[in-house]
Amino acid sequence: MFVQGLKCLFCETVYPVRVGYTCPRCGIVGILDVQYDYARIGRILTRRRLAARSDQSHWRYRELLPIGSNAALPALSVGGTPLTSTPALARHVGLAKLFLKDDGRNATGSLKDRASSVGVVKAREKRRPIIACASTGNAASSCAGMAASMGLKSVIFVPERAPEPKVTQLLIFGATVLRVRGSYEDAFQLCQRSCGKWGWYNRNSGINPYLVEGKKTAGLEIGEQLAWEPTDWVAVSVGDGCTVAGVWKGFRELKALGLIPRTPRILGVQAEGAAPVTAAFLSGEPMRPIEPATLADSIAVGVPRNWKRAVLAVRESGGAMINVSDGEILEAMRYTGRLSGIFAEPAAATAVAGLQRAVAEGCVGRRASAVALITGNGLKDVQSARAAAGQPYDIAPDGAALEEILRERKLIE
Amino acid sequence: MFVQGLKCLFCETVYPVRVGYTCPRCGIVGILDVQYDYARIGRILTRRRLAARSDQSHWRYRELLPIGSNAALPALSVGGTPLTSTPALARHVGLAKLFLKDDGRNATGSLKDRASSVGVVKAREKRRPIIACASTGNAASSCAGMAASMGLKSVIFVPERAPEPKVTQLLIFGATVLRVRGSYEDAFQLCQRSCGKWGWYNRNSGINPYLVEGKKTAGLEIGEQLAWEPTDWVAVSVGDGCTVAGVWKGFRELKALGLIPRTPRILGVQAEGAAPVTAAFLSGEPMRPIEPATLADSIAVGVPRNWKRAVLAVRESGGAMINVSDGEILEAMRYTGRLSGIFAEPAAATAVAGLQRAVAEGCVGRRASAVALITGNGLKDVQSARAAAGQPYDIAPDGAALEEILRERKLIE
């Protein structure tokens, strides 16, 4: 292990790794950040050494993860998701170059597998047979899937509005699923109390310092897949704030290790109806909780636990934060699918929509290059996709109406 | 290109590649099989050369695919899906060793991407701007997604019962979706007529000789991922017959090239309510069309075009064919998810259910090793999964009912 300690992001005290989930002095606002010995890691993780590693999963960066070298890993492969160049989508959005990092290709269909995989490894290490989590969906299904793969039991607290495909995934993975009649916040609080009471391993990424470490591998992979020449921008949708903070940490580490010459700017994108982090970023004031209202359920967070870390990350990157409407999100789902063949869930399409708006507003230049992080698979929320996609044409088996439809679609003259 | 010609599987005549979709002499029953110069390929595709190739997608086997060396490829990555060892599932099914080949991790969530990717490359090569397909779902969404990635237009004919997530995917990918009021057979016939009339590239794998070549890469990958030591059995669900025939061709080629010492036996598995291929296999008589009745929509085929090829493949492998009930399929979805963390769609879980039944009946030995091919992602048909998965527990935010539920689930004493 190359971990040196855990540093409170609030009071900046550094603790030994045995300290617990959050800062003993600051309580739940005292989110802990894992500190590494980068000098030692830098001597091992060179470009050449990485190129020679055959492991294509995110464990190829194990020196930068808070796990022992002999730790048992889940059998499900995590990370190593494709980075796809999408020239037609770049033109549509108004960029010189655009790549999609498709984290919907992870085992359970979202980026959260990166975090959950680290979570189950830590749970096993601490000999906890049960792992628990409160989530709007992706973190939960990922936690349940990784637990199943690792032979752990999972207890999942979901808010009432969690979409059915995500709840179904949980049940298929054998989780005990508790649907809390209330908001995400209610589910979160009940999960916290239960973890305390029964000693379950707590997989809530607003609390647990190790999960964001898993998320940062998305940034590490983007750096390596771009042959160590990052794009000007990397767009990430923002809910709780953990993902954008994690991805940024990945880039900062690549820079610290001398693997990339410069870091990309981060574009943090929120849905208009759930944008407390953007508000805090723009005002410089502390985050004010709101009542979330957006169809992008994965980022419909009213009380983002990691807002401060997200704001700091975007600021440190020289980046920006922007909001988009639900209409823009649905439209982005449609044109992203049509122009790239990648089916993004609403929260994922939010990153693409944000890039389009940022270009239109002049915040991102027309000659810029960018990566949009596709955080989840569109199949996870087909209801929203259906609203975006429209309807098929119903025809009789004799094909009588066919010519008219084909003419309307400009497929025949 | 290492292709030598196209051989009719019915009359055995070999034609030059320009011949068209099916045998000019035998008509639609004259399915053509692509013939390669294995002597030349064998000098290039050695174990060592393959190990040195950095391309992890299925194009790493390009010498064994019917595409030119300079062919434009879709930007979406295809194949290279994980092969995961699942000891807990092996114990449950009654095998010494079991691997899941998770083709639900493909770009559009199913194995069909392997076929469609070859289809769009051929369409581009033949300068056809439109590709068409009739499908119960996976072939369609895969065709539409690959077409989007390649900048082609797609026209998709789906039967009435195609599940909503799959139809939604099509629409998101910008396809012109024609929902035919009738069966798969009606959709198929209308697609055939339309391709003929308007000159669209025909992506129906019962007709087009090139698609099965894409499917065979699942077999090639399994061979390489097992370090060239195949398991005793490979279980594949059977609908139209193309996939099982394709996978078998992959293993046969690996043997012909001297890359594996012996081929695995193929276990072809059909759903009880749609089992004309098993009937033909067992009786030795020609296939008799049936009216399909199974929840596993991807293999609900009443008139399997490639039945003969499937029967020959399973027989040549020294394998067997078996049927499972819809109840067994739902149960396999549940225990596969719980014991491996992989969410399989019904047609995919059919392969696991088949292995369990084959072990129980003594057809597959208890000391045997096997691979089950997970042909599609469970998120593609959440309706069926819901039937398998059961319901979550609804609780109030105060957690009053929690202890009782946890005791029932044996999570606390």
pLDDT tens, residue by residue, B92-128: 999 999 999 999 999 999 999 999 999 999 999 999 9
Phi, psi angle pair for A232, to nearest 5°? -65, -40
Nearest Cα residue to B242 out of B170, B317, B311, B159 = B311
CA distance A350 to chain B (A): 15
Cβ atoms A302, A276 nearer than 8 A: yes
Range B103-120 burial, b when 16+ CB lie within 10 A, else e: bbbbbbbbbbbbbbbbbb
Q: Given CB atoms, is B151 within the 8 Å cutoff of chain A? A: yes
Hey, are the CB atoms on A174 and B337 less than 8 Å from each other?
yes
Q: Is the pLDDT of residue A386 over 80?
A: yes
Closest chain A residue by Cα to residue B385? A168
Phi, psi angle pair for B269, to nearest 5°? -125, 125
Hey, are the CB atoms on A343 and B180 less than 8 Å from each other?
no
Summarize the confidence of residues A24-46 as an average pLDDT.
94
Strand, helix or coil for residue B321: strand
Comparison of pLDDT for A386 and B230, the residue scoring more? B230
Q: Given CB atoms, is A44 within the 8 Å cutoff of chain B? A: no
Report residue B323 as tokens. 């049927």
Q: Which residues contact A48 (CB under 8 A, 6 or more apart)?
A: none
| Contact residues, chain B, for A388 at CB < 8 Å | 172
Q: Which residues contact B362 (CB under 8 A, 6 or more apart)?
A: none
Long-range Cβ contact pairs of A397-405 (< 8 A, separation 24 or more): A397/B180, A397/B181, A397/B182, A397/B186, A397/B187, A397/B189, A397/B190, A399/B190, A399/B193, A399/B194, A402/B178, A402/B190, A402/B194, A405/B176, A405/B178
Cβ atoms A301, A271 nearer than 8 A: no
CA–CA gap between residue B107 and residue A102 (Å, rounded):
9
Q: Is the pLDDT of residue A136 over 70?
A: no
Instruction: Say which CATH topology domain B83-109+210-389 has.
Output: Rossmann fold (3.40.50)
Q: Given CB atoms, is A350 within the 8 Å cutoff of chain B? A: no
Q: Is the pLDDT of residue A237 over 90?
A: yes
Summarize the confidence of residues A43-68 as an average pLDDT.
95
Partner residue opposite A181 with nearest CB, options B102, B180, B397: B397
pTM of the entire predicted model: 0.96
CA–CA gap between residue B91 and residue A330 (Å, rounded):
45
Task: Please state the separation of Cα A58 from the chain's center in Å.
Answer: 14
Summarize the confidence of residues A376-391 as an average pLDDT.
88
Write down the ipTM of this complex.
0.94
Please give the mean pLDDT across all residues of chain B. Answer: 95
Instruction: Tell me the range of A180-184, A386-390, B323-327 where mean pLDDT is highest.
Output: B323-327
Nearest Cα residue to A158 out of A181, A174, A142 = A181
Report residue A205 as tokens. 């990424």
Q: Is the pLDDT of residue B246 over 90?
A: yes
How confident is residue B136, by pLDDT bands cut at 50, 70 and 90? low
Q: Given CB atoms, is A227 within the 8 Å cutoff of chain B? A: no
CA–CA gap between residue A274 and residue A272 (Å, rounded):
6
Q: What is the pLDDT of residue B164?
A: 77
List the domain boundaries for chain B. Answer: 83-109+210-389
| Contact residues, chain A, for B148 at CB < 8 Å | 337-341
Cβ atoms A165, A172 nearer than 8 A: no
Partner residue opposite B395 with nearest CB, options A146, A179, A378: A179
Report residue B349 as tokens. 């879980």
Sign of CA dihedral A360, A361, A364, A368: positive
Report residue A132 as tokens. 């628990």
CA triple B216-B218-B222, angle to 5 deg = 125
One-letter identity of residue A10: F
Please give the mean pLDDT across all residues of chain A. Answer: 95
Instruction: Say which CATH topology domain A83-109+211-389 has.
Output: Rossmann fold (3.40.50)
Nearest Cα residue to B159 out of B139, B179, B133 = B179
Helices (H), B226-303: 242-256, 276-283
Nearest Cα residue to A114 out of A59, A158, A55, A167 = A59
CA distance A318 to chain B (A): 31
Q: Is the pLDDT of residue B383 over 90?
A: no
| Contact residues, chain B, for A130 at CB < 8 Å | 411
| Cβ atoms within 10 Å, residue B175 | 29
Partner residue opposite A341 with nearest CB, options B107, B382, B389: B107
Q: Which residues contact A113 (CB under 8 A, 6 or more apart)?
A: A76, A78, A79, A106, A107, A142, A145, A146
* Beta-bridge mates of residue B321: B268
Half-sphere exposure of A204 (CA within 13 A, CB side): 32
Task: Please state the separation of Cα B355 from the chain's center in Å.
Answer: 17
| Contact residues, chain B, for A227 at CB < 8 Å | none
CA distance A88 to chain B (A): 8
DSSP state of A232: S
Cβ atoms B85, B99 nearer than 8 A: yes
Hey, are the CB atoms on A340 and B148 less than 8 Å from each other?
yes
Tokens 């059995």 belong to: B233
Q: Is the pLDDT of residue B269 over 80?
A: yes
CA triple B37-B150-B148, angle to 5 deg = 135
The dihedral formed by the CA atoms of A165, B269, B138 and B184, expressed in degrees to the nearest 10:
-110
Cβ atoms A100, A342 nearer than 8 A: yes
Half-sphere exposure of A366 (CA within 13 A, CB side): 5
Strand, helix or coil for residue B270: strand
How confident is residue A405, by pLDDT bands cut at 50, 70 and 90? very high
pLDDT tens, residue by residue, A271-329: 999 999 999 999 999 999 999 999 998 899 898 989 999 999 999 999 999 999 999 99
Hey, are the CB atoms on B397 and A171 less than 8 Å from each other?
no
Q: How far is CA A309 from CA A174, A206, A284, in A?
A: 33, 10, 13
Q: Given CB atoms, is A96 within the 8 Å cutoff of chain B? A: no
CA–CA gap between residue B192 and residue B207 (Å, rounded):
9
CA–CA gap between residue B18 and residue A412 (Å, rounded):
26
- 365-394 in B: which are within 8 Å (CB) of A? 377-380, 382, 385-386, 388-394
Q: Is the pLDDT of residue B275 over 90?
A: yes
| Cβ atoms within 10 Å, residue A138 | 33
Strand, helix or coil for residue B410: coil
CA–CA gap between residue A195 and residue A199 (Å, rounded):
5
Pairing relationship of beta strands A130-134 and A201-202 according to DSSP bridges: parallel
Q: Given CB atoms, is B132 within the 8 Å cutoff of chain A? A: no
Report residue B208 as tokens. 């087009």
DSSP state of A286: P
| Cβ atoms within 10 Å, residue A321 | 25
Nearest Cα residue to A104 out of A396, A336, A353 = A336
Cβ atoms A208, A119 nearer than 8 A: yes
pLDDT tens, residue by residue, A87-132: 999 999 999 999 999 999 999 999 999 999 999 999 999 999 999 9
CA distance B13 to chain A (A): 35
Give me the DSSP letters along A83-128: EEE-HHHHHHHT-SEEEEEEGGGSTTSBTHHHHHHHHHHHHHHTT-
